[in-house]
Amino acid sequence: MDQDEDTAFADNYAERDQAKALREQARAGGLRFEAYLTGDQADWLLERIERGMFADPSEAVFAIVKNFIDMEPHHDLRDELLRRILDGSIKRGLEDAEAGRVRDADEVFDELRRKMAAPRPAPARWEKIAR
């Protein structure tokens, strides 16, 4: 991949080249990969598996990617949804500020630095159950 083609993701040329190299094989046989979810995302997903909405994380990823593919031609709907999400976030932020629920930026960055420096627990790992 020509590194001058796109600067939006200037640090992932190797991944982009790998994607290009795998496309034909993936079209024929699918694609397996490992995904990391944050704690909140993992909790959301596992709760839905517990309820029977998805059989396992793989099925969830399949369904979610399918939704994204189905929505791709509908840029207007996607943009409206993103606008509503952003508007809601801004509204909550303004309400927090008006109610005095604000923190000093230095305090926030200090907390973030401490959290980033702290050891993280090992992520849980889903094991496929043979049937």
Over residues 46-59, the pLDDT tens digits come to 999 999 999 999 99
| Number of domain units in the chain | 2
Residues 55 and 89 in one domain: no
Q: Distances in Å between the alpha carbon of 113 and those of 116, 123, 125?
A: 5, 20, 27
Mean pLDDT of the chain: 91
Rounded Cα–Cα distance for residues 131 and 126 (Å): 15
Radius of gyration of the chain, Cα coordinates, nearest whole angstrom: 20
What tokens does 30 get? 């699918």
Assess whether 68 and 79 both reside in one domain.
no
- What is the extent of the structural domain holding 101? 75-119
Q: Is there a single domain that holds both residue 27 and residue 69?
A: yes
pLDDT band at 71 (very low <50, low <70, confident <90, very high): very high
- The reported pLDDT for the residue numbered 93 is 95
Structure tokens at 68: 């994204």
Element (H, E) at 73: none
Q: Are residues 103 and 91 in the same domain?
A: yes
Both 63 and 27 in one domain: the answer is yes
> Could you tell me if 65 and 87 lie in one domain?
no
pTM for the model stands at: 0.71
